[in-house]
A and B are shown apart, each in its own frame.
Chain A
């Protein structure tokens, strides 16, 4: 890979340069390939929902997008620039932020200490706290509480607050709803809805589609490490049952709206 700026293969004048793009990405763990040629693009201000059953490769896609896993072939592009192989911390500092599955907080640190971790981008601690508590006032009330003793929903809020305090340009969210009661999930998705309305580009991974399809601009279904269908949420909703039940083994289909 060279340091030269490489043009994105899917650069499209009509839709603008994608903020994030995966081009023919193959990746995995050790000798085991999990992704078998993923093509995905996230446009500025767009919410893209990546759906699929357990083991489909959704989290691996996010790991590649955040630089945690380097593709064995294919490329990761940001704003049209090939950034394959760039370290995850450099991508995070640039503005690509991942909210990992299982919240990814430090359970034995307090809420405020967890938020201090978001100062790696160079933002002042008080600025990070102000941002976080303005969006999640409940965390302000619990700033001295050990994060591990928060409820599941509050832990997820803390994870989101820490991510948003870095003022990311691209937000990657992995299984926000995991292990949470439906009412809490609804509350969290209200937050995501507000974040999306501010114009942030969001790639969100979910196993269950009900909430996420309501707020996504586009969606895609992953199965066995391949992106089978992408398109408007309405069209994806029809395909979901087939994909989950394994009835659809057709060739990958991409909606013309791309």
Chain B
């Protein structure tokens, strides 16, 4: 049908092609992952585990020490650990919710479409 690189009518209009190339050049390439929410959830779980491990180590360190400075340092580490765990939980919840909402909205769209089609079919049958 369209012989490539031929003249008028044969290829996409050169101005449209040039415009397309310009639009493509403007695109911000982020290199998004195949499943960003899953990756986010994994990071969340990982951070939570790391945070709890840090807090537990700090707790044992404080427990076995009589030195006030060591206990204070361990306490700071424990707080940092708990902070990391909280951030991890937030990341995990955020990504899990996004994932759930995505499926939920797709399901809603399909259900609504299905119901509309059933309604139209019922109206047609009653004609």
Contacts and interface: CB of A to CB of B under 8 A. Distances in A.
Interface of A: 1-3, 5, 15-16, 19, 27, 30, 43-47, 69-72, 78-79, 81-87, 90-91, 93-95, 107-108, 148-149, 167, 169-170, 193, 196-201, 215-217
Contacts of B119: 148
A44 B120 contact: no
Interface of B: 1-6, 9-13, 16-17, 19-21, 23-35, 112-113, 116-117, 119-120, 123
SS class, residues of chain A in contact with chain B: loop
A87 B32 contact: yes
Contacts of A2: 29, 31
SS class, residues of chain B in contact with chain A: loop
A169 B29 contact: no
A79 B31 contact: no
A185 B11 CA distance: 25
B27 A45 contact: no
B1 A84 contact: no
Nearest to B112: A108
Contacts of A82: 29
29 contacts: A1-B31, A16-B4, A16-B5, A30-B35, A44-B12, A44-B17, A45-B4, A45-B12, A46-B2, A46-B4, A70-B35, A71-B34, A79-B21, A81-B24, A81-B29, A82-B29, A83-B27, A86-B27, A86-B32, A94-B23, A95-B16, A169-B16, A169-B19, A169-B20, A196-B1, A197-B1, A197-B2, A217-B1, A217-B4
A5 B20 contact: no
B1 A70 contact: no
B21 A108 contact: no
B92 to A, nearest CB: 18
A72 B39 CA distance: 13
Q: Which of B13, B31, B112 is packed against the most chain A CB atoms within 10 Å?
A: B31
A196 B113 CA distance: 31
